[in-house]
Amino acid sequence: MMNIAIIGSRGIPAEFGGFETFAEELAVRLVQRGCQVTVFCENSQQYRQSVYKGVQLCHIRTPNIAGLRSIWSDLTGIVTCLQGYDVVYMLGYHTAFLFFLPCMFGVNFFVNMDGLEWQRKKWSSFIRAYLKVCERLAVYCVPHLIADAKAITDYLTSTYPGSALKFNTIPYGAIIPEDTDPDAVRELGLMPDTYDLVVCRLEPENHVLEIIEGYAASSSDRTLVIVGDHHSGSDYVDTLLQVAGDRVKFLGTIFDSYKLTVLRQHCRAYLHGHSVGGTNPSLLEAMSCGNYVIAHDNPFNREVLADRGRFFRDAEGVTKHIDDLDARGISPEFGKAMKERIRKKYDWETITDLYLQRFFETCKTGR
């Protein structure tokens, strides 16, 4: 029985973002395949039991100080995992200055390299420089690296020569949900198929401003619904609120997966502006609902969508696609093609098997 530790997320069951959902989906499936799995959780987690669906949970007391909380959580997790585990899987590299510890102790240590975090415009110049250094440290220090998109692997291996043998590309996954009742979307104050949808953090690299401006310039009479924290008070969010007109409706942050599925299944189209991540969970979830996707044109989104998406580079591109959509409508085959791509490329069961195979090979050969 392989004993695996997963650290770097806030914990499971998922209450926050992509890493938490990833940890839950992977850990539960690894347990189902006979592994013993421990997920390290911050004490901010509402779920306080020691076991979740067969996964052991180790809750870490962390200071309630942003930044320091995650550093302390990662440090505690890494030190705890120096002995007793066949594989330790770290999600993210923002504490890469700690990664020498498991390497010194001969731990089978894997790191998920996430996206190009240092490119996020929300960070100060200092933090962006720090994250770039952490990226470099992780690539050169850690023996086993996972990227969730080929475009991330290509970037890292070209930026850091000699690192190619360390990398495996294993994507994020998604589940095709059951159909939801159209009446459920009415409870959110919307009518089915009368709105287009955005779900993201309201940050510059997610191109929300371009989406709003492009939508406003279109001739569509539909509503643009945006799910994200519009009460943050950031300069960027203030700009969004100023630019948004009557056809834009902000719903705030929604973590409830059922409500998000309802919104996705009963929208007309999903607009996806993410540009610095790898395989983005929100995009996969839209595809799993059969959404017509209009996405920012970058290598990550093109890799995920292949020939099934529509792409924009600026506000004018958004306007063009919305007007074309109003004029031509959507073929039912489009949604079927999206779901089929999820089944073939982003199925959690297949992804779990890839992880299990990689972990087993490392435990057996040390490589």
pLDDT digits (tens, 9 = 90+) for 313-344: 999 999 999 999 999 999 888 999 999 999 99
Work out the burial of residue 11: count CB atoms within 10 Å of its CB; fewer than 13 is exposed, 13-18 middle, 19 or more buried: buried
- Angstrom distance (rounded) from CA 166 to CA 183: 49
Whether 63 has a pLDDT exceeding 80, the answer reads no
Alpha-carbon distance of 85 to 147, in angstroms, equals 22
- Domain membership flag for residue 116: yes
The contacts of residue 116 (CB under 8 Å, 6+ apart) are 152, 155, 276, 277
**Which tens digits make up the pLDDT trace of 75-102?**
999 999 999 999 999 999 999 999 999 9
Tell me which residue range forms the domain holding 71.
3-173+347-365
In the sheet that 223-227 helps form, which strands lie side by side, from edge to edge? 248-252, 223-227, 195-199, 269-272, 292-296, 310-312
| 150 within a domain of the structure (yes/no) | yes
Q: Which CATH number goes with the domain that contains 126?
A: 3.40.50.2000
Burial class of residue 92, CB neighbours in 10 A (0-12, 13-18, 19+): buried
Look up residue 174 and give its amino acid: A
Q: Which amino acid is at 310?
A: R
178 is a domain residue: no
Sign of dihedral through CA atoms 100, 104, 105, 108? positive
- Residue 24: helix, strand or coil by DSSP? helix
pLDDT in tens, 163-208: 988 999 999 999 999 999 999 999 889 999 999 999 999 999 999 9
Residue 163 within a domain:
yes
Count of domains for the chain: 2
